[in-house]
Structure 1
């Protein structure tokens, strides 16, 4: 299986360890990653998608055209990238007038787009194409005895008719089953399906409210679970939920739950070097990494 790798902006620029984990784990599971040279920002919600549909679809169309040229579907980890590209693709594919307008905008740079290339989130591919059985068989160091909680990328859930692949979207299960495939017990908690609070439109304009949003999540985790660590599959969730705990710990008690991207924890279970796939963090991961 070959997929065009769309890394977005934050992963290669700020969290290259996540990129490395993705590049190491996916081929081991039979997913060959093809780089899309020349891709640009998705663009993220809170930018063009919120203010200028033509610009949103033109940028999405550029990125989609790179995959179309190679005859590939796109593989995306970031929830915001996934949703922006997925919505863009649906509009380009199914609305003839919008598709014509996008191609008019792309014509000066010599590109065209039809919307043929699908946009796939990495957890969708891992669950529905690779499968939890194959993942379980691929690991050498299971997470036996550890408790985890999961954070679902909310942009992969809603609007479900456009972006959804987990059912039902109000009670998704894919992340839970993917983590269980690695041997950990996944604990439930009351704020499990709540947005992380870190999306740019929210955190960028209402930072205090975003921190409060995250605090309610971590307070629920602390009081309702035995979680040793958290697993996410969105670079925005990863950066925000890791970084915000330092801010919350200043006068609000201790918040110290290690946060991993799914492909990072998968890479560790496969036996890859922690210094290569999980070195960057705000909250110490030492108590988890020491078992690897």
Structure 2
């Protein structure tokens, strides 16, 4: 009898030990997406159950995990900060910072490498903590509630299936780490962006390569994440090279279906972003991204173009 009791106790302990791991790999339906989309994601995730390797998912930030309408948070954080602290002042620092923003406005291409480098130059001289607070405050005041619930549910599923989740953005890294880490429940070191060298506790004008935009986004993956991802998600032409690093599932959120891309867009030439990814067999999903008319956006007052709205279909 004693031997049977010991055996039964061992079995119960083994079941208790392994049950969390079994239940942790149960797919939970993503509300707001169709059964077809859910089935495809679940089927893919189940193929990863027996993998004995790092399972990595990489997502773009703006427009992919949270809304970018009417403006990118990176721009809004900088322009609102300048309006508050630098505009109309004649001290050396204010003049230098305003010159950078005026150069950015004149450039106008806020998805180009020169423009995204200038965002980093604007933040030079600040501490990482101050930059993180700047980004977080902008998020709370103007972007809270703009995280896509479907993407949060997807990320929760990925975690349950044992995935590392990374965010890869062209925006300044310290600016995005605090609010993204808090909202998505991932370590701040898993949020990669435009990196500036920190010397004596402050950011400098020296930028760490590769610059995470266009082909640079793809290069960040082997440089810093150091493995090829099984899942990659993005939304724009600038994410094409990064998405093509996926050796499993490619997810494209609210892709543009109006602008036919030119020769400079390589393999996307002759297609819209949506058309290209449909051809490539990517999973295309829709999340609601519209403007809150009650929120003031300083970026538009500086003359920066608005991002197109994507209402939930």
TM-score by length of 2: 0.27
The two structures have a TM-score, normalised by structure 1, of 0.28
